[in-house]
Amino acid sequence: MTAFFGIMTAESALSAQQTALDTISHNLANATTPGYHRQNVVLQASPPYTVPTTMGPVGTRLQEGTGVTVGGISASRDLWLDGQLQSNTTANAQATTQQQGLNSLQALLGEPNGEGLSSSLQAYWSAWSNVAEQPEDLGVRGSLLRSAGDLATQFNHLAQGIQSQQNDADQQVSTMVTQINQDTQKIATLNAQIAVAHGAGQTPNDLIDQRASTVNDLAQYVQVNTVSQQNGMLNVVVGTSLLVSADRSNQLTTKSNASTGHLDVYSSDDAVTLSQPGGKLGATINLRDTVLVNTLQQLNQIASTMVTATNTLHQTGFDLNGNPGGNFFDPTGTTAATIKLDASIVNNPSAIAASKAALATGDSTIANSMANLGSTTQASLGNSSITAYYNFAIGSVGSQMAQAQSDVDRTTAAGTFLTQQQQAVSGVSVDDQATQLLVHQRAYEAAARSLTILNGLFDTLMNAVSH
Amino acid sequence: MDNQVTLQGWGAQATADIDNALAAYSASQQQIATGRRINTPGDDPAGVVFVLSTQGALAANSSQFQRNGLIHGQLQTTDDALNSLETIFTRARDLAVAAASDGVPRSSYLTEAQSLLQSAVQAANQTYNGAYLFAGSKTTPTSLGGASAPFTLSGTTVTYNGDTQSLTRAVGNGQQVTVNVSGNNLQNMFNVLGSFVTNLTNNDGTSIRNSLNAFDSALQNILSARAQVGVQTNLADRVSSQLQTEDTTLSQALSQTRDVDMAAAATRFNQAGIAYQAAIQSSAHIFQKSLLDYMG
């Protein structure tokens, strides 16, 4: 045993405490860095020396401590909590996107505030009632044509609005695919760096945090499954498509669908369409291909029923000049986008067939039936009336909105709770770190003090032998 | 060192608290500003279906109420015209009674009788909003097939060019009223009146005496037509007042579903405002001190 032995031990303490202080400093620097996991220096007593001694029975050996070493720097991770946060991020982003989309649809529909189709329909039925009351009056007939024109325009406006929201969704899909590709590229790059460090026996905590943070960003857009590899890499799977395989990112592509005219998302690796990817992308595709399509189909069904039922009835009647009724709506426009008044009637109020017999101008049997068409059950609407069918469609949008709103509320609350939990485990508490700072500072001071004392001992010895 | 309180965890909670308080504040503000609990379908999906159908019923109701005003006017005009005819015809009967006695100069009644006939034709050709009142369904000139009016006078002969159809109009609540008196009900009167003019011209006292009963029964026709118009007017008016009652009931039901209870909403608004202010104030104080402040 040498006189320098204790000095070496003290020096190991200075060095270890310095590392601990550096790590606390790193933690405090990253106290507000998203995705950062608190790092902890793992201190271990270094292996003891076994030395013979003259104390005790002959042959007694002592194990004498050699100080402290840094066993490693670990990050406080709770993989289960991190996974919960990630899947909640997906659910929250999905619900929020769904809610925003439905909000736009609600605004377009303009119900129940008198800006929607229900007002136009009501005005149209009342206009027919007015004709039924005064079938001879050209002014009243002209009002009916204006109401019918307004109704058709309102249908057209709704159809265009829905199509424009679908086109917006396409643009969003395109932008999101770019974001997703950037994220998967970044994850692949980080995978490569992590594998290098892993190979050198290190745990690259900060790179792992960056990668987790990127995966979390990706999880907003799509529902992500991750598979850890032996070499520290992380594979990323969406649906059945492998988006990150080791250090390679499989980029997504978009392609216009010939039948819908909208963008489909393909995984370039296996040419599979991502139909229900979850997250923002999933919600956007769902809005575009299901919610908006359903509402448009319902409007189309109403428009088509209006055109067919109105024309059929109109043709059983006679106009003001005793001629048989023609088409009221243009029979070629049977969708919400294309419904319009027939050219034969649009500027010709006397061509409205209000009477059931030729030249029975005071008779308004047909006009009266037209006025009641809105509340008459229609086979094409599943034996529902036009009014009830439309009101149901609005209620259905409302139900989806209420569901989305409740999903947003639920996942937002869960997100806050999980963030708290995750932070409790992995976050940086300034007060805790400050306490640790004091502890390691004191330990450092103690080591320095013991070094001074050992140095004093050495001085004493040197002075004794030099005389 | 688990369960630590961290800047980010605290920040997330504070942000969520402020967001929630602000959302509640803004929602209660919107309710007060619009006066409505249901502003979008998502606010109450079942409620919105009720709101839409009730709003539709109210609009239909109000539109029907306006039409019933016109229908009332049409029946009133019909009654006025029948009243004129009754007056004309009563005067003609008085002349007939006078002319029935021999020894009176019948020719002195002729001019007035002719004038009464013309006035009666005019009254029977009256229109309401451009539609003939006594022409059955032939309410427009075009529909009369070349005739100039529902009743045309040629010599002492009055020809009816309309048809016998009753015109019905919906007045609401599934009820219909007949708004016209078909011209054929007046035909008898014109026949009697025409014959009277002819008999005066021919100085035919016997025929005039024999026609007095016919005068009575023709007058009876007019009176019963007026009675029928009265019944229909009452029906239309009764349904109109039902519509007004329903308007009140429907408006109340709509309001209960759609509108906010202002007193409760104002209270919620104040509470939400206090909660929001408390959330931002307490959050502002969160991070002011840490242990680091006391280390030196």
**Segment 157-176 of chain B within 8 Å of chain A by CB:** 163, 165, 167, 169-170
Q: A271: how many CB neighbours lie within 10 A of its CB? A: 10
Percentage of residues in chain B having pLDDT higher than 90: 74
Both tokens assigned to A90: 């997906």
Long-range contacts of A129-132 (CB under 8 A, 24+ apart): A129/A367, A129/A368, A129/A371, A129/B60, A129/B63, A129/B64, A129/B67, A129/B170, A130/B63, A130/B67, A131/A352, A131/A354, A131/A364, A131/A367, A131/A370, A132/A354, A132/A364, A132/A367, A132/A368, A132/A370, A132/A371, A132/B169, A132/B170
Residue B146: predicted pLDDT = 87
Q: What is the mean pLDDT of residues A431-436?
A: 91
Which among B3, B6, B19 is the top mutation candidate for probing chain A, defined by the most A β-carbons within 10 Å of its own β-carbon? B6
pLDDT band at B179 (very low <50, low <70, confident <90, very high): very high
Both tokens assigned to B250: 């429907």
Residue B287: predicted pLDDT = 65
Over 80: is that where the pLDDT of B13 sits? Answer: yes
Residue A271: predicted pLDDT = 66
Q: B186: how many CB neighbours lie within 10 A of its CB? A: 29
Q: Which residues of A touch B142 (CB under 8 A)?
A: 320-322, 359, 361
Q: Does A435 touch chain B (CB under 8 A)?
A: yes
Q: Does B41 touch chain A (CB under 8 A)?
A: yes
Q: What is the mean pLDDT of residues A68-89?
A: 92
pLDDT band at A53 (very low <50, low <70, confident <90, very high): confident
Q: How many Cβ pairs within 8 Å bridge chains A and B? A: 210
Q: Does A399 touch chain B (CB under 8 A)?
A: yes
Of the given ranges (A102-116, A269-283, A421-435), which has the lowest mean pLDDT?
Answer: A269-283
Percentage of residues in chain A having pLDDT higher than 90: 80
Q: What is the tens place of the pLDDT at every residue in A363-373?
A: 999 999 999 99
| A324 DSSP 8-state letter | B
Q: What is the tens place of the pLDDT at every residue in B52-109?
A: 999 999 999 999 999 999 999 999 999 999 999 999 999 999 999 999 988 878 888 9
Average pLDDT of chain B is 92
Q: What is the tens place of the pLDDT at every residue in B118-152?
A: 999 999 999 999 999 999 999 999 999 889 999 99
Over 90: is that where the pLDDT of B14 sits? Answer: no
Are B138 and A359 an interchain contact pair (Cβ–Cβ within 8 Å)? yes
Cα-based angle B36, B39, B41 (whole degrees, multiple of 5): 135
Are B291 and A394 an interchain contact pair (Cβ–Cβ within 8 Å)? no
Q: Which residues of A touch B14 (CB under 8 A)?
A: none
Over 80: is that where the pLDDT of B290 sits? Answer: no
**Dist CA A415 CA A85 (whole Å):** 7
Average pLDDT of chain A is 93
Q: B263: how many CB neighbours lie within 10 A of its CB? A: 8
Q: Which of A106, A133, A427 sits opposite B4 (nearest CB)?
A: A427
Burial of residue B283 (CB within 10 Å: 0-12, 13-18, 19+) is middle
Over 70: is that where the pLDDT of A361 sits? Answer: yes
Q: Does A438 touch chain B (CB under 8 A)?
A: yes
Backbone angles phi, psi at A200, to 5 degrees: -85, 10
Of the given ranges (A171-185, A319-333, B92-106, B219-233), which has the lowest mean pLDDT?
Answer: B92-106
**Segment 188-247 of chain A within 8 Å of chain B by CB:** none
Residue A360: predicted pLDDT = 95
**Segment 194-253 of chain B within 8 Å of chain A by CB:** none
Nearest to A407 by CA among A81, A96, A85, A104: A96
**Segment 53-92 of chain B within 8 Å of chain A by CB:** 53, 55-56, 59-60, 63-64, 67, 70-71
**Dist CA B256 CA B244 (whole Å):** 18
On whether the CB atoms of residues A204 and A166 are closer than 8 A, the answer is no
> Which neighbouring-strand residues pair with A69?
A44
**Dist CA A391 CA A111 (whole Å):** 10
Backbone angles phi, psi at A115, to 5 degrees: -105, 0
- Complex ipTM, two decimals? 0.89
Dihedral sign for Cα A55, A59, A60, A64, please.
Answer: positive
pTM comes to 0.88
Are A429 and B6 an interchain contact pair (Cβ–Cβ within 8 Å)? yes
Residue B1: predicted pLDDT = 47
**Dist CA A312 CA A327 (whole Å):** 8
Dihedral sign for Cα A85, A86, A91, A97, please.
Answer: positive
On whether the CB atoms of residues A98 and A404 are closer than 8 A, the answer is yes
